[in-house]
Amino acid sequence: MAVGFAVVDARQYGGRVTAFVALSCVTAAMGGAIFGCDISTAGGVSSMDAFLQEFFPDVYRRLKCAAGVSNYCKFDSQLLTLFTSSLYITGLLTAAVPLYLSEMAPARYRGMFSNGFQFSLCLGALLATVVNYGAEKITGGWGWRLSLGLAGVPAALLTVGAIFLPETPQSLVQQGRDRGEVRALLQKIRGTDDVDQKLDDIVAANAVAQQGDNGLRLILTHRRYRPQLAMAVLIPSFTQLTGINAIGFYAPVLLRSIGMGESASLLSTIVLVIVSSAATFTSLFAADRFGRRTLLLAGGALMLVCEALIGVRAEARRRGGLSRAYSLALLLLIGVYSAAFGCSWGPLSWLVPSEIFPLEVRSAGQSITVASGFVFTVFVAQYFLAMLCRMKAWLFFFFAGWIVVMTAFVYLFLPETKRLPIEHIDKVWAEHWFWKKVIGANEDEASAKL
């Protein structure tokens, strides 16, 4: 068996993609737009002179007047980074959205639907970045208020849309609702009357879940769930250690740190977000065609090359100004890096954890996934500018090292899950060269009891 691969019975259900399920998933994916707006709004206003002058005058003075202060250190302020990292209250929200999308989507298109969360995030970031660019042009210094205010638009849309969102079939079964009600919902979602096999599998999975203990206790104490627990903790953590959110938060600040003007840095950020959004759009189709592993491995390799070259370029120009050629080269590298992330680790870090958990631990597992990701997100947001000041260009080599680790992890330990029904994905671990050894003892104990 090839490293990282597993082969299981890939049962497929009938049906098609209906307008009902597409509209439901588009509405739910609006949660990603909230996240993207928060990231880009915080990063954008943090680079605006009027905002800095109002709330962070020390940073503003260093930016404008401080002679002898390295460009890398002009934005070094724990108070400024606290403003950015404090916006992650939306992580109560992102725990639910990927899980909802993975349960509503047909198995053969689950990658497309689930990756819609990341695409929505990119669109939210693009909206906020365009608003930031326009707000910076407003005379009178109140543009940053417009940026912060408009960040609430996606939240308002999701709040209204959530009123009309249906429950997933899995959720209805867990609530003990009538089988006929669940069948009717499945028929509406799948666009076919032939849903009995799917319904039987959901009911069977729920029966297993009802025999178990508390989901969080199960996933933390039983060897059977060690593979899923490892993925829930490591995949979102690795994603933040690529440095992507550091660039997402602080792209305008980062570009100003290397010498760009306020307006130029915001305009350049718009270009980067458009590139990332286009790459994420391709992942909607590529994840189900080429598989999760292929995208993660290819994306990791390309990100590694770009991160290393960004570090080399930044170190070479560490003490000098910013020439036009250097500016274009740096933007190109960051653009390629963002594109590589957008079609691989960006969407798949939400997709893979949302689809690997059995029903009895699915909610607890998704909560662990989101918590792990946001712990590292807040850490990176809080300390990136301080690390940039102290490590300077070597910070990019630090992130490159983590990309090596996470790419190797995927190659060795992540089995392929494309097009597998969500009720049967747990079987891949028993066929994997490493995880079958981890869960084997637990399976032997269960067999002995029988």
Do residues 103 and 170 lie in contact, with contact meaning Cβ atoms separated by under 8 Å? yes
175 CB-contact burial (10 Å; exposed 0-12 / middle 13-18 / buried 19+)? exposed
pLDDT given for residue 118 in this prediction: 85
Chain center to CA of 251: 17
**Does residue 202 fall inside a structural domain?**
no
Residue 28: closest CA among 162, 135, 155: 162
Backbone dihedral region for residue 62 (phi beyond 0: left; psi -120 to 50: alpha; all else: beta): alpha
pLDDT given for residue 300 in this prediction: 96
Q: Is residue 376 located within the same domain as residue 257? A: yes
Q: Is residue 219 located within the same domain as residue 88? A: no
- As a whole number of angstroms, the distance between CA 113 and CA 107 comes to 10
pTM: 0.78
Tokens of 208: 């297993």
Do residues 295 and 343 lie in contact, with contact meaning Cβ atoms separated by under 8 Å? yes
H or E segment to which residue 42 belongs: helix 30-45
Residue whose token pair is 């002898």: 68
- As a whole number of angstroms, the distance between CA 323 and CA 316 comes to 12
Average pLDDT, the chain: 82
The conformation of residue 165, written as its DSSP 8-state character, comes to P
**Does residue 323 fall inside a structural domain?**
yes
Cβ count near 306 (within 10 Å)? 23
Q: How far apart are the first and last CA of the chain?
A: 30
Write out the residue range of the structural domain in which residue 54 sits: 16-165
**Does residue 433 fall inside a structural domain?**
yes
Number of domains in the chain: 2
Q: Is residue 324 located within the same domain as residue 254? A: yes
Give whole-number Cα distances, 255 to 185, 307, 328, in Å. Answer: 50, 15, 11
Chain center to CA of 391: 26
pLDDT given for residue 323 in this prediction: 63
Tokens of 418: 């494309």
pLDDT given for residue 62 in this prediction: 84
Where do the H-state alpha helices sit in 241-361? 244-257, 262-290, 292-316, 324-342, 345-355
What's the CATH code of the domain at 423? 1.20.1250.20
pLDDT digits (tens, 9 = 90+) for 320-344: 555 667 767 777 888 899 999 999 9
Residue 302: closest CA among 344, 271, 330: 344
**Does residue 179 fall inside a structural domain?**
no
pLDDT given for residue 248 in this prediction: 61
**Does residue 10 fall inside a structural domain?**
no
Q: Is residue 158 located within the same domain as residue 226? A: no
pLDDT digits (tens, 9 = 90+) for 381-427: 788 878 888 888 788 899 999 999 999 999 999 999 988 887 788 88
Contacts of 143-146 spanning 24+ positions with Cβ under 8 A: 143/48, 143/50, 144/45, 144/48, 144/50, 144/51, 144/54
Please list the ranges in the chain whose pLDDT falls under 70. Answer: 1-14, 66-68, 71, 87-91, 93-95, 209, 211-213, 245-265, 316-324, 327, 441-450
**Does residue 154 fall inside a structural domain?**
yes
49 CB-contact burial (10 Å; exposed 0-12 / middle 13-18 / buried 19+)? middle
pLDDT digits (tens, 9 = 90+) for 211-240: 666 778 888 888 999 999 999 999 999 998
